[in-house]
């Protein structure tokens, strides 16, 4: 029986399946464990089930001499030092594919919310500012008339493409052989939606230059990773009218402090990283994460492994 640590409570009954085979400790606080608390809890851990908010770096790997398997409750693994894990022969599991359609749904919802000014409309009604029907009240823009530029045509990008084409929008994309250059996409699109991974090449990619390249009537949607966008440049772009608006499910930093200047920017919609937040998807993610950990602890190939070069793993 292995000792396992789970860094947050997760939906469904997957943890019960893990506990049926191994000793399990779950961090039950609302906020994630601090660095010191995490080091203390994982000192004798054989299996770790972590969240994307946990930095599992080389220093932490060194503090886990018994570690045999890591499974993250996320698609991305940019919070994990894969090289350090692989150097120890530790497989790292993740949850690809499962959240594709749910995340694409949210990207579409954010587009509609910011373009049709839904949060402002809701606030106006609640504040008693809806006195009569007015022809020019809270005018927004049509998605079906838009040119949507998709940056990163992976699984989620393709799912977004299907959705906006269903609305009748024109689609441009970058990041594939038949895509267009990013500069052209930024110049021509009335909606720019980000679906690329966070890498050294994409970190800060949407900076002041990129935002000034966008049209003044364009909207930026980010459901990928916060650091892809230069936060201060976006704040200035919204305040000074370089672009029409933005809708974010991810930010840098994340979460934003309540007094962060970006929150004072006009024409901005922010959600608290809800891309995969449906009952069905989050429970399926939990099952995949636990299946990965159980396999890794048995020495079997993980169903979904981010470092398949480790012996006993498969992609």
- Helical residues (DSSP H) of 35-181, grouped into ranges: 35-42, 58-62, 82-87, 100-115, 118-126, 155-167
Candidate list 68, 117, 163, 273, residue with the active-site label: 273
**Residue 89 per-residue DSSP state:** T
Query: What does the block give as tokens for 202?
Result: 């994409």
Produce one character per residue of 166-188: b if its CB has 16 or more CB atoms within 10 Å, e if not: eeebebbbbbeeebbebeebbeb
Candidate list 254, 260, 283, 298, residue with the active-site label: 254
Question: d(Cα 278, Cα 155) in Å, to the nearest integer?
Answer: 18
Question: d(Cα 292, Cα 94) in Å, to the nearest integer?
Answer: 8
* 173 has catalytic annotation: no
Which element (helix H / strand E) includes 3?
strand 3-6
* 116 has catalytic annotation: no
Which element (helix H / strand E) includes 285?
helix 279-298
* 225 has catalytic annotation: yes
Candidate list 225, 235, 236, 304, residue with the active-site label: 225
Question: d(Cα 157, Cα 144) in Å, to the nearest integer?
Answer: 18
Class of residue 45 by CB neighbours under 10 A (exposed 0-12, middle 13-18, buried 19+): buried
Q: Give the residue numbers annotated as catalytic, written as ranges.
A: 225, 254, 273
């Amino acid at each position: 029986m292995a000792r396992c640590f789970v860094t947050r409570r997760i939906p469904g009954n997957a943890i019960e399946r893990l506990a049926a085979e191994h000793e399990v400790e779950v961090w039950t606080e609302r906020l994630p464990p601090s660095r010191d608390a995490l080091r203390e809890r994982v000192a004798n851990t054989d299996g770790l089930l972590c969240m994307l908010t946990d930095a599992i770096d080389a220093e932490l790997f060194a503090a886990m001499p018994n570690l045999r398997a890591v499974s993250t409750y996320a698609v991305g693994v940019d919070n994990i030092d894969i090289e350090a894990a692989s150097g120890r022969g530790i497989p790292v599991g993740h949850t690809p594919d499962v959240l594709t359609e749910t995340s694409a749904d949210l990207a579409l919802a954010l587009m509609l919310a910011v373009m049709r000014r839904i949060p402002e409309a809701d606030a106006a009604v609640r504040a008693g500012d809806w006195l009569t029907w007015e022809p020019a009240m809270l005018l927004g823009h049509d998605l079906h008339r838009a040119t949507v530029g998709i940056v990163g045509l992976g699984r989620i990008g393709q799912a977004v493409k299907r959705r906006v084409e269903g609305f009748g929008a024109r689609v441009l994309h970058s990041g594939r052989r038949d895509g267009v250059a990013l500069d052209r996409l930024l110049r021509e699109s009335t909606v720019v939606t980000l679906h690329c991974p966070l890498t050294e090449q994409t970190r800060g990619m949407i900076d002041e230059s990129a935002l000034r390249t966008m049209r003044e009537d364009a909207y930026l949607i980010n459901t990928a990773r916060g650091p892809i966008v230069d936060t201060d440049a976006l704040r200035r772009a919204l305040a000074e009218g370089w672009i029409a608006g933005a809708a974010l499910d991810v930010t840098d930093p994340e979460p934003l402090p309540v007094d962060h200047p970006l929150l004072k920017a006009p024409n901005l919609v922010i959600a608290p990283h809800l891309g995969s937040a449906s009952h069905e998807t989050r429970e399926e993610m939990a099952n995949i994460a636990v299946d990965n950990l159980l396999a890794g602890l048995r020495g079997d190939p993980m169903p979904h492994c981010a470092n398949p070069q480790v012996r006993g793993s498969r992609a």
